[in-house]
Amino acid sequence: MLEADASAIEPGVYELSTRFGRLTVPARLGWRCEPPLPGFDGLHQYLVLSCEGQEPFLWLQSVESPELAFLIAPAEAFGLRYRGGIDAEESGMPGPYVLVILPRPGGSASIGCHRWAPLMFDPSTRSFHQRVFEPDEVEGAGIWCGLSPQRQSELRRAWAGALLDVPSRISGQ
């Protein structure tokens, strides 16, 4: 699954330079974005990174554009629920695979999220896409409410084998 801007160091294992340092990545950890995220045409290959001590926050790291990484988190950490067939009981897709992008406009310290356009991850195909919802299809204000330690552990287990763990080396974040 990983190819562009990643150097094969052995069959099925790639090396990639990112803002997190040089990463050695098994190809099985790659995720494909189809269609590409709006404004990022041509970028299809990503990794989901977990930085030590930053849970439940994750990073969506572009493989084709290694300087590009989006901060993401489970939608439920912002009290969000979506109607229209994406809840776990309706779609068969586990809840931790519905994530929101967390923009940080103008260096603001506040946390907000793109609540009307979550990322939908499908672990069976190792793919994801961004879905835009109408305001009446979204429940919750998108304000940080966090996750209990128990729920964080459940999500960590659900994501096992789908994340690349990296040491936290980003200053000021």
pLDDT of residue 6: 61
Q: 82: which 2 tokens?
A: 């979506």
pLDDT of residue 5: 53
Question: Where do runs of H (alpha helix) occur along 33-99?
Answer: 88-91
pLDDT of residue 105: 67
d(CA 23, CA 20) in angstroms, rounded, equals 8
Q: What is the pTM of this model?
A: 0.85
Query: Which domains, ranges and CATH numbers included, belong to the chain?
Result: 7-165 (2.30.290.10)
How distant, in Å, are the alpha carbons of 39, 70, 120, 148 from that of 156? 30, 19, 17, 12
pLDDT of residue 172: 42
pLDDT of residue 167: 82
- Any idea of the CA torsion for 94, 18, 34, 32, to the nearest 10 degrees? -60
Number of H helices and E strands in the chain, helices first, is 2, 13
How distant, in Å, are the alpha carbons of 15, 63, 71 from that of 5? 9, 6, 21
Q: What is the pLDDT along the chain (173 residues), one digit of tens a residue?
A: 555 556 666 778 888 899 889 999 998 999 999 999 999 999 999 999 999 889 899 999 999 999 999 999 999 999 999 987 555 444 455 555 899 999 876 666 677 899 999 999 998 889 999 999 999 999 999 999 999 999 999 888 888 888 999 986 644 44
CB-based contact 111:169 (threshold 8 Å)? no
CB-based contact 98:114 (threshold 8 Å)? no
